[in-house]
Structure 1
């Protein structure tokens, strides 16, 4: 399974228009595209930072869709008043109890195979014990030695309560992978319509 993320640094006042665009135009187009397994949209209403991620059955299906969806990304950029960065990922871990209300995303550089093993064996069991935990995923970009770990929570309060434990988990993942934490950011989950199978 693979994923493509479109990262926008836009204007906070344009977030609602961006969400409507994803719901009304982007999602129906993706639903009709062969090999697509759905779409999520993360937003930070205070900063205008947004990430739209589509999931795909194969790397070939994802690549074949690029030209078709480029115009939608450009329109999203215009609507949000944003800069745009597009990244491709391999999905190595996916576990979902439910979608949740908000997400914490952590980007970590390092040995990706070790990172994935730590995530599966060391971190997932701890996450399952935390109140309000909904889902977790790990995407990797092997060419950049970069992992993108996302955890979803049923409420902002639950996510905030998990911060100390999450800090320790990130530190362990980075240490085990002989790497470093690049960025951590918390978002609202504005749209979630994903059909990626369990991959734990």
Structure 2
């Protein structure tokens, strides 16, 4: 599958307005598009960060939806968004152990690597990160979103609640250290979000 991620920052006091609009009008727009497989809305209410991720059956389906969403995105994110960026990825790994619910927590690690090493990065993630993460209490989903052309990726782990996310920090720090050395990956960002909505049809 293929993914479009929209990352917005703004005034935390205005965040809930954007979330309500995305959770109603935004979701309706997406569900009308051919090839749509689901979406997630993730927030950091303290800082004022909003991450939305939509999943598509094919790269073409994502591309066709880009035109509609590009025209509507500004209105959907008003008045919250002061900055908006859009990234596109291949869903190289996506594994779910239980369905995330509102109040679950997402940890997202931003990665950079030599584009020539894209396949070894995926292999290392499957061989090292997935089995180690699966053993952690409260894991709901683990994924690797890959931009092969530019040598960028996002590794995401979703946990059942705030306590499970906190309890996983030390173990996943060790996994990141091991996997990044093995695959020659730089970890350039680490963020945690509350899950507002997450529904992706993986099969």
Q: Common fold, TM-score beyond 0.5?
A: yes
Asked if 1:130 is matched to 2:136, the reply is yes
Is there any run of 5+ residues in structure 1 with no aligned partner, and where? none
Q: Which residue number corresponds to residue 109 of structure 2?
A: 106
Larger CA deviation: 26-35 vs 76-85: 76-85
Counterpart in the other structure of 1:12? 12
Over the residues paired in the alignment, what is the CA RMSD in angstroms?
1.2
Distance in 1 separating the partners of 2:53 and 2:72: 13
Q: CA shift at 1:166, angstroms?
A: 1.1
Unmatched tracts of structure 2, length 5 or more: none
1:143 aligns with 2:152: no
CA distance in 1, matches of 2:58, 2:184: 29
CA distance in 2, matches of 1:172, 1:63: 35
On the 8 A contact 1:6/1:53 being kept in 2, the answer is yes
Once the two structures are superposed, what CA deviation does each residue of 1:28-81 show, in whole Å capped at 9, x if it has no partner?
111111011111011000111111111111111111111111133112332313
TM score, norm. by length of structure 1: 0.94
> Which stretch of the first structure deviates more once superposed, 70-79 or 48-57?
70-79
Give me the whole-angstrom Cα distance separating, in 2, the residues matched to 1:173 and 1:146: 15
Q: Using the alignment, how far apart are the partners of 1:72 and 1:195 within structure 2?
A: 24
The question of whether the paired residues in 1 share the 8 Å contact of 2:18 and 2:78 is answered with: no
- TM-score, with length taken from structure 2: 0.93
- In the aligned structure 2, how far is the partner of 1:183 from the partner of 1:31? 31
Q: Matches of 2:55 and 2:111 in 1, distance apart?
A: 20
User: How many residue pairs are counted as aligned between the two chains?
Assistant: 197
Secondary structure of the 2:78 match is helix
